[in-house]
């Protein structure tokens, strides 16, 4: 379950806003995946330092350790200095942040020293480990961090339900007579897609938790398992909201293409539905298309306010796809 850079930042910011941010994260991914950018944005969120200054000498109460020796290892002295900074009293409203870049380059002694910090983190602190090779880290360290794996180049894989939704919209556009029944059919198709997404995410997160239980059972205590169960529940909901939001954006792209077709603009976001959006451009006036776009924007806002999902879609789709 690799995250895009944007999705990872969004997930972590929501956890912070909901006061559910963990004390330690392992942000992993290949070169170019955006590990430092994600760490910088999260550090900025909790500390107030500008993201562009997080890895510079301008950062206040942000402590960074990365390979500096000729052997390209992180030495125990660097960890001691980082720990000393974390023990200092922080300014009001600023969280202390420790970042270990290329954490897989920790010397064994340095890793053991940092493990004690992970086990008993200083008050009001956040620990971030960055690694392109998390498999090289000791299990005792990995098991005490919440894992945030990033996709290569910070880009996600095209989700299959996007294509399914486009096909659903194409079918709706080809219907000559739009009615309440038509609107309900589209709403039911949307709910079916969302149900599949929710079940898929539940299965993935349950499998990830099961793998962690098997891997770390002998190196952690029972309290860790409770924390991980809570983490995966929150992760499943966050991933679902992210995927649902992506589908709402497809709806907006579709109707924006209708508007462009009416205005004779060559650009088209959904090229697979170009013929159908052109058909709707001939059927509806510009004010009618704009009204539907506005209704979808209201739907997006309502979903952000935790309004009952199925009802929100049905009411919106009556306006958007009804007569």
pLDDT (tens, 9 = 90+) of the chain, 323 residues, equals 678 888 888 888 888 887 888 899 999 988 888 999 999 999 999 998 899 999 987 778 899 999 876 678 899 999 999 999 898 876 666 789 999 999 998 999 999 999 999 988 888 899 999 998 888 888 889 888 988 989 876 555 456 788 999 999 999 999 988 999 999 999 999 999 999 999 999 998 888 888 877 776 666 656 666 677 777 887 888 788 878 888 998 998 899 999 989 988 877 878 899 999 999 999 999 999 999 999 998 898 888 777 789 999 999 999 999 87
Question: Of 34, 239, 246, 41, which is closest to residue 152 (Cα–Cα)?
Answer: 34
Question: Of 146, 104, 102, which is closest to residue 121 (Cα–Cα)?
Answer: 146
Q: How many distinct helices (H) and strands (E) make up the chain? A: 11, 5
Q: Give me the pLDDT at residue 222, please.
A: 61
Residues, the chain, total? 323
Q: What's the number of CA atoms in the CB half-sphere (13 Å) around residue 136?
A: 13
Q: Give me the pLDDT at residue 43, please.
A: 94
Domain edges within the chain: 5-154, 160-321
Can you tell me the distance from the alpha carbon of 146 to that of 24, in angstroms, rounded to the nearest whole number? 6
Q: 187-192: long-range contacts (C-beta < 8 A, 24 or more apart)?
A: 187/313, 187/314, 187/317, 187/318, 187/321, 190/165, 190/247, 190/313, 190/317, 191/310, 191/313
Q: Give me the pLDDT at residue 218, please.
A: 65
Please, what CATH class does the domain formed by 5-154 belong to?
Answer: alpha beta
b/e code 89-109 from CB counts within 10 Å (16+ = b): ebeeeebbbbbbbbbbbbbee
Side by side, the strands of the sheet bearing 125-131 are 62-65, 96-100, 125-131, 24-28, 146-149
Q: For 263-306, where are the alpha helices, taking DSSP H only?
A: 274-283, 286-304
Q: Give me the pLDDT at residue 25, please.
A: 95
Q: Give me the pLDDT at residue 310, please.
A: 92
Can you tell me the distance from the alpha carbon of 142 to that of 123, in angstroms, rounded to the nearest whole number? 21
Q: Give me the pLDDT at residue 77, please.
A: 93
Q: Give me the pLDDT at residue 158, please.
A: 55
């Amino acid at each position: 379950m690799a995250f895009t850079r944007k999705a990872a930042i969004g997930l972590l910011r929501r956890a912070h806003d909901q006061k559910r941010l963990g004390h330690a994260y392992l942000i992993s991914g290949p070169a170019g995946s955006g590990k430092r950018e994600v760490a910088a944005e999260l550090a900025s969120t909790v500390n107030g330092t500008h993201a562009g200054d997080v890895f510079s000498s301008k950062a206040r109460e942000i402590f960074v350790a990365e390979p500096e020796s000729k052997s390209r290892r992180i030495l125990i002295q660097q960890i001691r200095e980082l720990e000393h900074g974390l023990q200092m009293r922080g300014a009001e409203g600023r969280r202390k942040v420790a970042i270990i870049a290329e954490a897989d380059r920790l010397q064994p002694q340095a890793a053991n020293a940092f493990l004690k910090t992970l086990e008993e983190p200083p008050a009001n602190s956040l620990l971030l480990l960055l690694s392109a090779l998390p498999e090289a880290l000791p299990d005792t360290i990995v098991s005490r961090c919440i894992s945030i794996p990033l996709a290569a180049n910070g880009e996600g894989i095209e989700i299959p339900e996007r294509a399914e939704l486009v096909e659903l919209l194409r079918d709706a556009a080809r219907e000559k007579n739009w009615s309440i029944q038509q609107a309900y059919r589209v709403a039911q198709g949307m709910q079916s897609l969302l149900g599949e997404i929710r079940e898929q995410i539940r299965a993935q997160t349950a499998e990830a938790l099961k793998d962690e239980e098997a891997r770390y059972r002998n190196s952690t205590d029972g309290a860790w398992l409770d924390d991980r169960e809570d983490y995966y529940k929150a992760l499943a909901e966050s991933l679902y909201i992210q995927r649902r939001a992506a589908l709402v954006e497809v709806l907006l792209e579709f109707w924006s293409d209708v508007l462009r077709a009416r205005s004779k603009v060559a650009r088209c976001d959904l090229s697979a539905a170009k013929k159908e959006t052109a058909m709707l451009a001939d059927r509806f006036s510009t004010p009618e298309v704009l009204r539907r776009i506005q209704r979808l924007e209201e739907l997006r806002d309502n979903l952000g306010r935790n309004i009952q999902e199925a009802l929100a879609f049905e009411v919106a789709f009556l306006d958007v796809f009804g007569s």
